[in-house]
Chains A and B, each alone.
Chain A
Amino acid sequence: MTATSAPSALDGLGADLAAAACGQAARWDRDGALPVAVRGAAAKAGLLTADLPVGYGGLGASPAQVGELCARLGGVCGALRALVTVQAMVAAAVLRWGTAEQRTRWLPAFARGELLAGFAATEAGAGSDLAAVDTRVRAVVDGREPTLELTGVKRWVSFGQVADVVLVLGVLDGRHTAVLVETDRAGVTRQPVEGQLGLRAAQLAHIRLDGVRVPATNRVAPPGFGLSHVAATALDHGRFTVGWGCVGMAEACLRDMAEHVLTRRQGGTLLAEHQTVRALLGRAAVETAAARELAARAARWRAAGAPDAIAGTVAAKYAAARTAASVAGTAVQVLGAAGCAPESRAGRFYRDAKVMEIIEGSAQVAELHVADHLLRRTRATGSGGRR
Protein backbone atom coordinates (compact mmCIF):
# COMPACT_ATOMS: atom_id res chain seq x y z
CA MET A 1 0.00 0.00 0.00
CA THR A 2 2.53 2.60 1.08
CA ALA A 3 5.52 0.33 0.53
CA THR A 4 7.90 2.40 -1.51
CA SER A 5 11.65 2.76 -1.54
CA ALA A 6 11.40 6.46 -0.63
CA PRO A 7 12.21 7.25 3.01
CA SER A 8 9.09 7.58 5.10
CA ALA A 9 8.21 8.81 8.54
CA LEU A 10 6.95 5.28 9.14
CA ASP A 11 10.47 3.86 8.77
CA GLY A 12 11.32 4.90 12.32
CA LEU A 13 8.08 3.73 13.87
CA GLY A 14 8.39 3.09 17.60
CA ALA A 15 11.94 4.40 17.94
CA ASP A 16 10.97 7.00 20.54
CA LEU A 17 8.95 4.56 22.62
CA ALA A 18 11.72 1.94 22.44
CA ALA A 19 14.27 4.51 23.64
CA ALA A 20 12.01 5.57 26.49
CA ALA A 21 11.30 1.98 27.50
CA CYS A 22 14.90 0.84 27.44
CA GLY A 23 15.79 1.56 31.05
CA GLN A 24 12.45 0.45 32.44
CA ALA A 25 11.67 -2.90 30.84
CA ALA A 26 13.45 -4.90 33.54
CA ARG A 27 11.27 -3.24 36.17
CA TRP A 28 8.09 -3.90 34.20
CA ASP A 29 9.13 -7.53 33.95
CA ARG A 30 9.64 -7.65 37.72
CA ASP A 31 6.33 -5.86 38.36
CA GLY A 32 4.51 -8.16 35.95
CA ALA A 33 2.80 -5.35 34.06
CA LEU A 34 3.28 -2.62 31.51
CA PRO A 35 2.34 0.79 32.96
CA VAL A 36 -0.97 2.10 31.65
CA ALA A 37 0.84 5.19 30.38
CA VAL A 38 3.07 3.03 28.19
CA ARG A 39 0.09 1.36 26.59
CA GLY A 40 -1.35 4.83 26.04
CA ALA A 41 1.86 6.08 24.48
CA ALA A 42 1.97 3.12 22.11
CA ALA A 43 -1.62 3.77 21.08
CA LYS A 44 -1.08 7.50 20.68
CA ALA A 45 1.88 6.91 18.38
CA GLY A 46 -0.28 4.61 16.26
CA LEU A 47 1.89 1.59 16.98
CA LEU A 48 -0.85 -0.84 18.03
CA THR A 49 -2.27 -1.34 14.56
CA ALA A 50 0.21 0.48 12.34
CA ASP A 51 -0.59 -1.58 9.26
CA LEU A 52 -4.32 -0.90 9.29
CA PRO A 53 -5.43 1.31 6.41
CA VAL A 54 -5.59 5.01 7.25
CA GLY A 55 -9.35 4.91 6.73
CA TYR A 56 -9.69 2.68 9.79
CA GLY A 57 -7.37 4.78 11.92
CA GLY A 58 -4.15 2.93 11.09
CA LEU A 59 -0.99 4.38 9.60
CA GLY A 60 -1.02 2.29 6.43
CA ALA A 61 2.43 0.96 7.32
CA SER A 62 4.00 -1.69 5.09
CA PRO A 63 4.88 -5.15 6.39
CA ALA A 64 8.55 -4.14 6.45
CA GLN A 65 7.77 -1.05 8.51
CA VAL A 66 5.69 -3.05 10.97
CA GLY A 67 8.49 -5.61 11.12
CA GLU A 68 11.09 -2.99 11.99
CA LEU A 69 8.72 -1.57 14.60
CA CYS A 70 8.45 -4.98 16.23
CA ALA A 71 12.21 -5.50 16.08
CA ARG A 72 12.70 -2.12 17.77
CA LEU A 73 10.21 -2.86 20.54
CA GLY A 74 11.27 -6.50 20.78
CA GLY A 75 14.86 -5.43 21.34
CA VAL A 76 13.77 -3.56 24.45
CA CYS A 77 10.78 -5.35 25.93
CA GLY A 78 9.07 -8.53 24.81
CA ALA A 79 5.83 -7.57 26.53
CA LEU A 80 5.66 -4.24 24.73
CA ARG A 81 6.15 -6.05 21.44
CA ALA A 82 3.49 -8.57 22.53
CA LEU A 83 1.05 -5.70 23.12
CA VAL A 84 1.44 -4.72 19.46
CA THR A 85 1.25 -8.36 18.40
CA VAL A 86 -2.11 -9.14 20.02
CA GLN A 87 -3.81 -5.90 19.07
CA ALA A 88 -2.63 -6.24 15.48
CA MET A 89 -3.62 -9.93 15.32
CA VAL A 90 -7.20 -9.23 16.24
CA ALA A 91 -7.29 -6.16 14.01
CA ALA A 92 -5.94 -8.20 11.08
CA ALA A 93 -8.63 -10.84 11.56
CA VAL A 94 -11.42 -8.25 11.71
CA LEU A 95 -10.01 -6.31 8.74
CA ARG A 96 -9.78 -9.46 6.68
CA TRP A 97 -12.95 -11.29 7.71
CA GLY A 98 -15.18 -8.68 9.33
CA THR A 99 -18.17 -7.21 7.56
CA ALA A 100 -18.08 -3.54 6.62
CA GLU A 101 -20.10 -2.80 9.77
CA GLN A 102 -17.76 -4.80 11.99
CA ARG A 103 -14.69 -3.10 10.56
CA THR A 104 -16.17 0.32 11.16
CA ARG A 105 -17.25 -0.62 14.66
CA TRP A 106 -14.05 -2.22 15.91
CA LEU A 107 -11.00 -1.16 13.92
CA PRO A 108 -10.82 2.58 14.72
CA ALA A 109 -11.22 1.73 18.42
CA PHE A 110 -8.38 -0.80 18.17
CA ALA A 111 -6.22 1.71 16.32
CA ARG A 112 -6.77 4.43 18.92
CA GLY A 113 -6.23 1.98 21.76
CA GLU A 114 -9.69 2.75 23.16
CA LEU A 115 -10.29 -0.96 23.12
CA LEU A 116 -7.48 -3.32 24.01
CA ALA A 117 -7.86 -6.65 22.26
CA GLY A 118 -6.87 -10.16 23.28
CA PHE A 119 -6.74 -13.42 21.36
CA ALA A 120 -8.35 -16.27 23.26
CA ALA A 121 -7.82 -19.57 21.47
CA THR A 122 -5.70 -21.83 23.69
CA GLU A 123 -7.41 -24.15 26.17
CA ALA A 124 -6.23 -26.82 28.56
CA GLY A 125 -6.91 -29.43 25.89
CA ALA A 126 -6.10 -27.33 22.81
CA GLY A 127 -2.62 -25.91 22.33
CA SER A 128 -0.81 -26.68 19.09
CA ASP A 129 -3.98 -28.50 18.00
CA LEU A 130 -6.45 -25.64 18.16
CA ALA A 131 -9.04 -27.75 16.30
CA ALA A 132 -9.63 -29.45 19.65
CA VAL A 133 -11.09 -26.32 21.30
CA ASP A 134 -14.04 -27.11 23.50
CA THR A 135 -15.55 -23.69 24.16
CA ARG A 136 -19.22 -24.03 23.32
CA VAL A 137 -21.01 -21.35 21.33
CA ARG A 138 -24.79 -21.54 21.28
CA ALA A 139 -27.18 -19.43 19.21
CA VAL A 140 -29.95 -18.07 21.41
CA VAL A 141 -33.08 -16.39 20.10
CA ASP A 142 -35.17 -15.08 22.95
CA GLY A 143 -37.36 -12.60 21.12
CA ARG A 144 -35.01 -9.65 21.11
CA GLU A 145 -31.78 -9.44 19.12
CA PRO A 146 -30.15 -12.78 18.28
CA THR A 147 -27.37 -13.58 20.70
CA LEU A 148 -24.56 -16.07 21.10
CA GLU A 149 -23.84 -17.74 24.41
CA LEU A 150 -20.29 -18.86 25.15
CA THR A 151 -19.05 -21.29 27.77
CA GLY A 152 -15.46 -22.42 28.16
CA VAL A 153 -12.07 -21.68 29.69
CA LYS A 154 -9.36 -19.94 27.69
CA ARG A 155 -5.78 -20.00 28.87
CA TRP A 156 -2.64 -17.89 28.54
CA VAL A 157 -4.33 -14.88 26.99
CA SER A 158 -1.70 -12.16 26.53
CA PHE A 159 -2.95 -8.93 28.14
CA GLY A 160 -6.00 -10.91 29.17
CA GLN A 161 -5.89 -9.10 32.52
CA VAL A 162 -6.65 -5.78 30.87
CA ALA A 163 -8.15 -6.58 27.45
CA ASP A 164 -11.50 -4.93 26.76
CA VAL A 165 -12.49 -7.48 24.16
CA VAL A 166 -11.15 -10.92 23.27
CA LEU A 167 -11.48 -12.82 20.01
CA VAL A 168 -12.65 -16.23 21.19
CA LEU A 169 -12.36 -19.43 19.18
CA GLY A 170 -15.19 -21.81 20.00
CA VAL A 171 -17.46 -24.39 18.45
CA LEU A 172 -21.03 -23.73 17.24
CA ASP A 173 -22.96 -26.79 16.10
CA GLY A 174 -19.71 -28.66 15.56
CA ARG A 175 -18.16 -25.85 13.53
CA HIS A 176 -15.27 -23.63 14.58
CA THR A 177 -16.50 -20.13 15.17
CA ALA A 178 -14.79 -16.87 16.12
CA VAL A 179 -16.61 -14.42 18.35
CA LEU A 180 -15.58 -11.05 19.80
CA VAL A 181 -16.43 -11.06 23.50
CA GLU A 182 -16.31 -7.89 25.57
CA THR A 183 -14.74 -8.66 28.94
CA ASP A 184 -17.22 -6.57 30.93
CA ARG A 185 -20.06 -8.93 30.01
CA ALA A 186 -21.73 -10.96 32.73
CA GLY A 187 -20.12 -14.38 33.08
CA VAL A 188 -16.55 -13.35 32.22
CA THR A 189 -14.00 -14.00 34.97
CA ARG A 190 -10.28 -13.51 34.63
CA GLN A 191 -7.58 -15.21 36.58
CA PRO A 192 -4.25 -13.38 36.33
CA VAL A 193 -1.20 -15.55 35.54
CA GLU A 194 1.96 -14.55 37.35
CA GLY A 195 5.49 -15.82 37.60
CA GLN A 196 5.51 -17.66 34.28
CA LEU A 197 8.86 -18.33 32.58
CA GLY A 198 8.85 -15.32 30.27
CA LEU A 199 6.89 -12.35 28.96
CA ARG A 200 6.14 -11.55 32.57
CA ALA A 201 4.92 -8.03 31.85
CA ALA A 202 2.40 -9.26 29.26
CA GLN A 203 -0.38 -9.40 31.89
CA LEU A 204 -1.51 -12.89 31.01
CA ALA A 205 -4.80 -14.26 32.22
CA HIS A 206 -6.88 -17.38 32.03
CA ILE A 207 -10.38 -16.33 31.06
CA ARG A 208 -13.49 -18.23 32.07
CA LEU A 209 -16.64 -17.75 30.01
CA ASP A 210 -19.68 -18.93 31.86
CA GLY A 211 -22.77 -18.59 29.68
CA VAL A 212 -21.56 -15.21 28.40
CA ARG A 213 -24.04 -13.63 26.02
CA VAL A 214 -22.99 -11.35 23.18
CA PRO A 215 -24.94 -10.03 20.19
CA ALA A 216 -24.77 -12.35 17.19
CA THR A 217 -23.20 -9.45 15.31
CA ASN A 218 -20.02 -10.10 17.36
CA ARG A 219 -19.39 -13.28 15.37
CA VAL A 220 -16.56 -12.85 12.85
CA ALA A 221 -17.10 -14.87 9.64
CA PRO A 222 -19.63 -17.70 9.34
CA PRO A 223 -19.47 -20.78 11.57
CA GLY A 224 -16.96 -23.20 10.08
CA PHE A 225 -14.42 -20.47 9.25
CA GLY A 226 -13.41 -19.44 12.76
CA LEU A 227 -10.26 -21.52 12.83
CA SER A 228 -9.28 -22.04 9.18
CA HIS A 229 -9.71 -18.38 8.24
CA VAL A 230 -10.23 -16.04 11.21
CA ALA A 231 -7.81 -17.55 13.75
CA ALA A 232 -5.46 -18.51 10.91
CA THR A 233 -5.29 -14.90 9.75
CA ALA A 234 -4.69 -13.67 13.29
CA LEU A 235 -1.99 -16.28 13.91
CA ASP A 236 -0.31 -15.56 10.59
CA HIS A 237 -0.08 -11.90 11.57
CA GLY A 238 1.07 -12.87 15.04
CA ARG A 239 3.86 -15.04 13.68
CA PHE A 240 5.03 -12.16 11.54
CA THR A 241 5.31 -9.71 14.44
CA VAL A 242 6.68 -12.31 16.88
CA GLY A 243 9.34 -13.25 14.32
CA TRP A 244 10.44 -9.66 13.90
CA GLY A 245 10.36 -9.17 17.66
CA CYS A 246 12.74 -12.12 17.95
CA VAL A 247 15.07 -10.53 15.39
CA GLY A 248 15.17 -7.47 17.66
CA MET A 249 15.88 -9.64 20.70
CA ALA A 250 18.80 -11.38 19.00
CA GLU A 251 20.22 -8.11 17.72
CA ALA A 252 20.02 -6.55 21.19
CA CYS A 253 21.77 -9.56 22.75
CA LEU A 254 24.46 -9.37 20.10
CA ARG A 255 25.08 -5.69 20.89
CA ASP A 256 25.18 -6.34 24.64
CA MET A 257 27.67 -9.16 24.09
CA ALA A 258 29.93 -7.19 21.76
CA GLU A 259 30.03 -4.19 24.12
CA HIS A 260 30.75 -6.43 27.08
CA VAL A 261 33.67 -8.30 25.50
CA LEU A 262 35.25 -5.04 24.37
CA THR A 263 35.32 -3.66 27.91
CA ARG A 264 35.54 -6.65 30.22
CA ARG A 265 39.07 -7.73 31.20
CA GLN A 266 39.93 -11.01 32.84
CA GLY A 267 43.50 -12.12 33.59
CA GLY A 268 44.77 -8.91 31.97
CA THR A 269 43.06 -9.64 28.64
CA LEU A 270 39.92 -8.33 27.07
CA LEU A 271 37.30 -11.05 26.59
CA ALA A 272 37.27 -10.01 22.94
CA GLU A 273 40.84 -11.27 22.64
CA HIS A 274 39.79 -14.82 23.45
CA GLN A 275 39.24 -16.92 20.35
CA THR A 276 36.59 -19.04 22.03
CA VAL A 277 34.61 -15.89 22.81
CA ARG A 278 35.02 -14.59 19.28
CA ALA A 279 33.75 -17.88 17.87
CA LEU A 280 30.60 -17.55 19.96
CA LEU A 281 30.14 -14.00 18.71
CA GLY A 282 30.66 -15.00 15.10
CA ARG A 283 28.13 -17.78 15.27
CA ALA A 284 25.57 -15.54 16.96
CA ALA A 285 26.12 -12.75 14.42
CA VAL A 286 25.51 -15.08 11.46
CA GLU A 287 22.41 -16.62 13.02
CA THR A 288 21.02 -13.17 13.76
CA ALA A 289 21.67 -11.85 10.27
CA ALA A 290 20.05 -14.95 8.77
CA ALA A 291 16.95 -14.51 10.93
CA ARG A 292 16.68 -10.88 9.82
CA GLU A 293 16.90 -11.86 6.16
CA LEU A 294 14.15 -14.47 6.54
CA ALA A 295 11.97 -11.92 8.30
CA ALA A 296 12.66 -9.40 5.54
CA ARG A 297 11.78 -12.01 2.91
CA ALA A 298 8.48 -12.66 4.67
CA ALA A 299 7.80 -8.90 4.68
CA ARG A 300 8.47 -8.68 0.93
CA TRP A 301 6.22 -11.62 0.19
CA ARG A 302 3.46 -10.19 2.36
CA ALA A 303 3.71 -6.82 0.64
CA ALA A 304 3.36 -8.61 -2.70
CA GLY A 305 0.34 -10.61 -1.55
CA ALA A 306 2.15 -13.82 -2.42
CA PRO A 307 0.63 -17.15 -1.31
CA ASP A 308 4.14 -18.17 -0.20
CA ALA A 309 4.00 -15.39 2.40
CA ILE A 310 2.18 -17.62 4.87
CA ALA A 311 4.71 -20.44 4.87
CA GLY A 312 7.47 -17.83 4.54
CA THR A 313 6.21 -16.19 7.71
CA VAL A 314 6.21 -19.55 9.52
CA ALA A 315 9.82 -20.08 8.44
CA ALA A 316 10.84 -16.60 9.56
CA LYS A 317 9.18 -16.89 12.95
CA TYR A 318 10.66 -20.35 13.48
CA ALA A 319 14.18 -19.25 12.59
CA ALA A 320 13.97 -16.00 14.52
CA ALA A 321 12.62 -17.62 17.68
CA ARG A 322 15.34 -20.26 17.58
CA THR A 323 17.93 -17.58 16.98
CA ALA A 324 16.64 -15.42 19.81
CA ALA A 325 16.81 -18.41 22.17
CA SER A 326 20.26 -19.41 20.98
CA VAL A 327 21.78 -15.92 20.94
CA ALA A 328 20.22 -14.96 24.27
CA GLY A 329 21.70 -18.15 25.74
CA THR A 330 25.10 -17.28 24.32
CA ALA A 331 24.78 -13.72 25.60
CA VAL A 332 24.07 -14.85 29.15
CA GLN A 333 27.07 -17.17 28.92
CA VAL A 334 29.42 -14.47 27.65
CA LEU A 335 28.13 -11.85 30.08
CA GLY A 336 28.54 -14.29 32.93
CA ALA A 337 27.38 -12.90 36.24
CA ALA A 338 26.23 -9.72 34.51
CA GLY A 339 23.99 -11.84 32.32
CA CYS A 340 22.44 -13.48 35.36
CA ALA A 341 21.85 -10.22 37.23
CA PRO A 342 18.28 -9.07 37.89
CA GLU A 343 18.61 -6.12 35.51
CA SER A 344 20.11 -8.15 32.67
CA ARG A 345 18.40 -7.79 29.33
CA ALA A 346 20.09 -10.94 28.06
CA GLY A 347 18.81 -12.89 31.05
CA ARG A 348 15.27 -11.60 30.55
CA PHE A 349 15.41 -12.36 26.82
CA TYR A 350 16.77 -15.83 27.60
CA ARG A 351 13.52 -16.54 29.45
CA ASP A 352 11.32 -14.72 26.93
CA ALA A 353 12.91 -16.40 23.92
CA LYS A 354 11.94 -19.86 25.08
CA VAL A 355 8.33 -18.70 25.13
CA MET A 356 8.77 -17.46 21.55
CA GLU A 357 9.63 -20.98 20.45
CA ILE A 358 6.24 -22.13 21.73
CA ILE A 359 3.67 -19.41 21.02
CA GLU A 360 1.96 -18.79 17.66
CA GLY A 361 2.98 -22.26 16.49
CA SER A 362 5.65 -24.29 18.23
CA ALA A 363 8.98 -24.97 16.59
CA GLN A 364 7.93 -28.55 15.90
CA VAL A 365 4.68 -27.55 14.19
CA ALA A 366 6.58 -24.94 12.18
CA GLU A 367 9.00 -27.58 10.94
CA LEU A 368 6.08 -29.67 9.69
CA HIS A 369 4.58 -26.68 7.88
CA VAL A 370 7.84 -25.75 6.22
CA ALA A 371 8.45 -29.36 5.17
CA ASP A 372 4.92 -29.59 3.85
CA HIS A 373 5.46 -26.47 1.79
CA LEU A 374 8.67 -27.87 0.34
CA LEU A 375 7.00 -31.15 -0.61
CA ARG A 376 4.14 -29.30 -2.27
CA ARG A 377 6.54 -27.27 -4.37
CA THR A 378 8.39 -30.41 -5.33
CA ARG A 379 5.17 -32.15 -6.34
CA ALA A 380 4.07 -29.05 -8.28
CA THR A 381 7.24 -28.88 -10.32
CA GLY A 382 7.78 -32.63 -10.61
CA SER A 383 5.66 -35.36 -12.13
CA GLY A 384 3.26 -35.58 -9.19
CA GLY A 385 1.68 -32.17 -9.61
CA ARG A 386 -0.03 -32.51 -12.97
CA ARG A 387 -2.06 -35.30 -14.36
Chain B
Amino acid sequence: MDAPDRATVARELHDFIAPALSGPIGPDEDYFALGLLNSLFAIELVVFVEQRFDLEVEVADLDLGHFRTISRLTDFVLAKLAGRAGLAA
Protein backbone atom coordinates (compact mmCIF):
# COMPACT_ATOMS: atom_id res chain seq x y z
CA MET B 1 0.00 0.00 0.00
CA ASP B 2 1.34 3.41 -0.97
CA ALA B 3 1.37 5.91 1.86
CA PRO B 4 -1.90 7.85 1.58
CA ASP B 5 -1.78 11.63 1.33
CA ARG B 6 -3.18 13.95 3.92
CA ALA B 7 -6.45 14.62 2.13
CA THR B 8 -7.13 10.91 1.75
CA VAL B 9 -6.44 10.17 5.40
CA ALA B 10 -8.62 13.09 6.54
CA ARG B 11 -11.47 12.02 4.26
CA GLU B 12 -11.38 8.39 5.37
CA LEU B 13 -11.34 9.41 9.02
CA HIS B 14 -14.23 11.77 8.41
CA ASP B 15 -16.19 9.05 6.63
CA PHE B 16 -15.76 6.76 9.63
CA ILE B 17 -16.42 9.34 12.31
CA ALA B 18 -19.19 11.51 10.85
CA PRO B 19 -21.83 8.76 10.61
CA ALA B 20 -21.41 8.14 14.33
CA LEU B 21 -22.57 11.68 14.99
CA SER B 22 -25.95 13.09 14.19
CA GLY B 23 -24.60 16.04 12.25
CA PRO B 24 -21.56 17.21 10.32
CA ILE B 25 -18.19 17.47 12.05
CA GLY B 26 -15.46 19.99 11.29
CA PRO B 27 -11.77 19.03 11.10
CA ASP B 28 -10.92 20.77 14.38
CA GLU B 29 -14.05 19.93 16.36
CA ASP B 30 -13.68 17.64 19.35
CA TYR B 31 -16.19 14.92 18.51
CA PHE B 32 -15.92 13.33 21.95
CA ALA B 33 -16.86 16.65 23.56
CA LEU B 34 -20.11 16.70 21.57
CA GLY B 35 -21.36 13.90 23.81
CA LEU B 36 -23.07 12.08 20.98
CA LEU B 37 -20.85 9.04 20.76
CA ASN B 38 -21.69 5.77 22.44
CA SER B 39 -19.30 4.16 24.88
CA LEU B 40 -17.88 1.73 22.34
CA PHE B 41 -16.82 4.34 19.82
CA ALA B 42 -13.43 5.17 21.32
CA ILE B 43 -12.12 1.64 20.88
CA GLU B 44 -13.88 1.22 17.54
CA LEU B 45 -11.99 4.27 16.32
CA VAL B 46 -8.70 2.77 17.53
CA VAL B 47 -9.42 -0.49 15.73
CA PHE B 48 -10.49 1.34 12.58
CA VAL B 49 -7.32 3.40 12.45
CA GLU B 50 -5.17 0.35 13.05
CA GLN B 51 -6.86 -1.74 10.43
CA ARG B 52 -7.32 0.88 7.75
CA PHE B 53 -3.82 2.34 7.95
CA ASP B 54 -2.03 -0.82 9.06
CA LEU B 55 -0.46 0.66 12.14
CA GLU B 56 -0.48 -0.07 15.86
CA VAL B 57 -1.91 2.31 18.43
CA GLU B 58 0.01 2.00 21.68
CA VAL B 59 -0.61 3.34 25.13
CA ALA B 60 1.92 6.13 24.58
CA ASP B 61 -0.23 7.35 21.68
CA LEU B 62 -3.26 7.95 23.88
CA ASP B 63 -1.97 10.78 25.97
CA LEU B 64 -1.70 13.67 23.57
CA GLY B 65 -5.24 14.17 22.38
CA HIS B 66 -4.43 12.56 19.02
CA PHE B 67 -7.85 11.04 18.85
CA ARG B 68 -10.03 14.03 19.60
CA THR B 69 -10.30 15.83 16.26
CA ILE B 70 -10.03 14.73 12.65
CA SER B 71 -7.10 17.12 12.05
CA ARG B 72 -5.09 15.81 14.97
CA LEU B 73 -5.90 12.21 14.18
CA THR B 74 -4.81 12.83 10.59
CA ASP B 75 -1.53 14.24 11.89
CA PHE B 76 -1.12 11.21 14.10
CA VAL B 77 -1.75 8.71 11.30
CA LEU B 78 0.66 10.50 8.94
CA ALA B 79 3.33 10.70 11.64
CA LYS B 80 2.95 7.00 12.41
CA LEU B 81 3.18 6.08 8.74
CA ALA B 82 6.18 8.37 8.24
CA GLY B 83 7.88 6.87 11.30
CA ARG B 84 7.40 3.41 9.93
CA ALA B 85 8.74 4.42 6.49
CA GLY B 86 11.73 5.96 8.29
CA LEU B 87 12.42 2.72 10.12
CA ALA B 88 12.14 0.71 6.94
CA ALA B 89 14.54 2.99 5.05
Contacts and interface: CB of A to CB of B under 8 A. Distances in A.
A222 interface: yes
Given A221-B62, A222-B63, A228 B19 contact: no
Given A228-B42, A380-B16, 8 more contacts: A222-B63, A233-B43, A236-B43, A307-B44, A368-B38, A377-B19, A386-B15, A387-B24
B46 A229 contact: yes
A385 B40 contact: no
A175 to B, nearest CB: 12
Interface residues of A, number: 36
Nearest to A314: B40
A28 interface: no
Interface residues of B, number: 22
Interface in A342-387: 368-369, 372, 375-380, 384-387
Please indicate which of the listed interface residues B15, B18, B40, B47 has the most CB atoms of chain A within 10 Å of its own CB.
B40
Given A98-B59, A221-B59, A376-B19, A311 B51 contact: no
A305 B48 CA distance: 8
Interface in B49-70: 50-51, 59-60, 62-63
Contacts of A369: 38, 40
Contacts of A387: 18, 24
B59 A228 contact: no
Closest 7 A/B residue pairs (Cβ): A379-B19, A228-B42, A380-B19, A307-B48, A376-B19, A307-B47, A385-B19
A384 B19 contact: yes
A384 B15 CA distance: 10
A369 B19 CA distance: 14
18 contacts: A98-B59, A131-B39, A222-B59, A222-B63, A232-B40, A232-B42, A304-B51, A305-B47, A306-B51, A307-B51, A310-B44, A311-B40, A369-B40, A376-B19, A380-B16, A380-B19, A385-B15, A387-B24
Contacts, number: 73
Given A228-B39, A232-B42, A306 B15 contact: no
Given A233-B43, A376-B20, A384-B19, A225 B48 contact: no
B51 A305 contact: yes
Interface of A: 97-99, 130-131, 220-222, 225, 227-229, 232-233, 236, 304-307, 309-311, 314, 368-369, 372, 375-380, 384-387
Q: Is the interface of B mostly helix, strand, loop or mixed?
A: helix
Contacts of B48: 307
A55 to B, nearest CB: 15
Contacts of B38: 368-369, 372
A309 B51 CA distance: 12
Most buried by B among A97, A304, A314: A97
B47 A309 contact: yes
Contact of A385 (B18, B50, B51, B62): B18
Nearest to B18: A385
Chain B CB within 10 A, most for which of A98, A131, A227, A379: A379
A220 B58 CA distance: 12
A261 to B, nearest CB: 41
A229 B39 CA distance: 9
A232 B19 contact: no
Interface in B23-45: 24, 38-40, 42-45
A222 B18 contact: no
A97 B59 contact: yes
Contacts of B15: 380, 385-386
Contact of B62 (A229, A309, A380): A229
B19 A310 contact: no
A228 B43 CA distance: 7
